[in-house]
A and B are shown apart, each in its own frame.
Chain A
Amino acid sequence: MDIDWHHFTLGSSLLGGILLGIAAGVLFLNSGRILGITGILEGLLTPTSEDSPWRLTFLLGLLASPLVAKLILPANLLHVPRIDASWVVVIVAGLLVGFGTRWGAGCTSGHGICGLSLLSVRSLVATLSFMCTGFITVFVIHHLL
């Protein structure tokens, strides 16, 4: 296996991960809610009066993050997004991600971070499933096509 040392960012990735864990832990300890982006979006598509406010304020904070990052973080900590996928592939991928995350009831945040932190076997199976098909998909588009 070849390691891509040029792009490997141990420090900032670990730091970012710790921030994700802090956010998930604080939201649950404070509000009793699972930090799952799929669940939060689902809740906003079918609003209920009780849950909508926290989902909306969370989402506003999330959407404000690039602006805040620009103001407070050193530029070398931020990654410039490299998007290889064409517009058509982006649309197909978006449809698959939207449909799939609702079908599987969670994504990288709900199943990946919260579920694994809760030692949930269900979330482990979900995480292994999307990791496996993610590996296979990239193998196909990078090495077979």
Chain B
Amino acid sequence: MQRLIEFAVGLIFGLGLLVSGMTDPGKVQGFLDLAGAWDPSLAFVMGGAVMVGLLGFGIAKKKTISLSGAPFNWPEMKQIDRSLVLGSSMFGVGWGLAGFCPGPALVTMASGNGKAFVFVLAMLAGMVLFDRFKKRDN
């Protein structure tokens, strides 16, 4: 039953990305292009998602345990540091360059798009590379 719910959640998330326009890099870049002909659509994606999210997480805050019985994994990290800002900024450059962030890239890859497939491979390589760097630092 839990597996079914998780599958459905993944499916709904993917459908949300597809319907919203997030899986179209041209649309993402249209949103990020403030100086050109600006397409504000993606602000409404974020707005809609956070509106519902506030409700969902708000209900969770009043509960002690999740419906499945597993504890809530509240994010523990609070600090605002160099890694957060530099990493997120680096992500933004890649996001702007190709118009893909991780979720939409996976969905577009699954729809059979070659460039999205290559993007996902490079993205996974970037993640592995980060882990190598981190290990060397420690």
Contact = CB atoms under 8 A, between A and B. Distances in A.
Whether A associates with B in a native complex is: yes
Given A21-B53, A95-B122, A107-B103, A45 B127 contact: yes
Tell me what chain A mostly uses at the interface: helix, strand, loop, or mixed: helix
B119 A94 contact: yes
A66 B19 CA distance: 10
Contact of A85 (B3, B10, B16, B99): B99
Given A3-B40, A7-B30, A45-B128, A61 B107 contact: no
Contacts of B52: 17-18, 20-22, 24-25
A133 B101 CA distance: 13
A7 to B, nearest CB: 5
Contacts of A112: 46, 49
A21 B52 CA distance: 5
A10 B70 contact: no
A18 B40 contact: no
Contacts of A96: 90-91, 93-94, 97, 126
Contacts of A9: 21, 41
A135 B96 contact: yes
Interface in A18-61: 18-35, 37-38, 41-42, 45-46, 53-54, 57-61
Nearest to A26: B9
Interface residues of B, number: 114
Given A25-B55, A28-B57, A81-B25, A98 B20 contact: no
Interface string B99-138: 1111101111111110110111111111111110000000
Interface string A76-101: 01111111110101111111111111
B113 to A, nearest CB: 6
Size class of the contact patch on chain A: 35 or more
Contact of B56 (A24, A37, A98, A121): A24
Contact of B88 (A2, A24, A98, A100): A100
Contact of B18 (A33, A66, A134, A135): A66
Interface string B80-91: 100111111111
B54 A117 contact: yes
A34 B120 contact: no
The 9 closest A-B pairs by CB, nearest first: A25-B56, A98-B126, A16-B20, A65-B14, A61-B10, A17-B48, A94-B122, A21-B52, A103-B87
Given A84-B25, A90-B115, A15 B123 contact: no
Interface in A97-145: 97-109, 111-123, 125-127, 129-139, 141-143
